[in-house]
Amino acid sequence: MSRDEIREELIHMDDEFRRLFEDHQQSEQRLAQLHHKSLLSQDDEIEEKRIKLHKLALKDRMELIVRQRSEQRIHA
């Protein structure tokens, strides 16, 4: 099973993973909104950096869950 297939399965079956995924999507949407502004204020720049760090933490956590699920499948 590919990593993408595992991710899809987790989105549908794992509440924590689905919450992380949805939070990641919302963060992505907010970044897109910020990028549509012609000029970012200092607060916008701070928010952008905060969101990027948050997204990275979410992605790291999701990747850990995918890796663990993949390893469980290998050892099952």
Structural domain of residue 35, as residue ranges? 3-75
Q: How many domains does the chain have?
A: 1
Residue 52 makes CB contacts below 8 A (sequence gap 6+) with 31
Residue 27 makes CB contacts below 8 A (sequence gap 6+) with 51, 54, 55, 58
Assess contact for 31 and 52: CB atoms under 8 A.
Answer: yes
In this predicted structure, what is the pLDDT of residue 1?
A: 83
What residue type is assigned to position 25 of the chain?
Answer: Q
Does residue 49 register a pLDDT over 90? yes
Q: What pTM did the predictor assign?
A: 0.88
Q: Kindly report, residue by residue over 1-46, the tens digit of the pLDDT.
A: 899 999 999 999 999 999 999 999 999 999 999 999 989 999 999 9
**43 in helix, strand or coil?**
helix
